[in-house]
Amino acid sequence: MATVARLRSVVVDCPDPHALAAFYAEVGGGTPRAEDDDWVVLTIPDGPRLAFQRAPGLTPPEWPRADRNAQQFHLDFDAGSTWEEMDAAHERVLALGAKPLDLTDRETKDFMVYADPAGHPFCLCRIERA
């Protein structure tokens, strides 16, 4: 069956699209391109196109609560296949302004959950290589 359309962008609402695009450029690569004050596009090399849209008064989700302002999506990032790579990625995202949400049982879950500077959840994932 033919598809209806191709995915163009994942759009993230945020109070400051320039700042959040710069954060994700540091995490995933690429160079943010502002189309105007309210819309910034980031194309991650070998990854998705992310767009950041100004949303004044945005209330960030409360992870992991599903009963009040639940997350609507989150981004997963491949942070490497070793714990050393995961630890290095952890330190870098903290330095960029991420806040830890769930760092427990990382050995059994192979991921750690953070909030970006606007409060959206994202994960650093350990991906085993074959």
Q: Give the pLDDT score at 66.
A: 67
Instruction: Quickly state the pLDDT bin for 42 (edges 50, 70, 90).
Output: very high
7-17 per-position pLDDT tens digit: 788 999 999 99
Q: Which stretch of DSSP H or E encloses residue 18?
A: helix 17-28
Q: 73: domain range?
A: 59-130
Let me know whether 113 and 92 are in one domain.
Answer: yes
Let me know whether 6 and 23 are in one domain.
Answer: yes
Q: Residue 67: is its pLDDT beyond 80?
A: no
Q: Residue 41: is its pLDDT beyond 90?
A: yes
Let me know whether 71 and 47 are in one domain.
Answer: no
Let me know whether 71 and 116 are in one domain.
Answer: yes
Domain boundary among 36, 57, 78: 57
Q: Give the pLDDT score at 4.
A: 63
E strands of the chain, at which residues? 10-14, 33-36, 39-43, 49-54, 75-78, 99-102, 111-115, 121-125
Q: Give the pLDDT score at 105.
A: 77
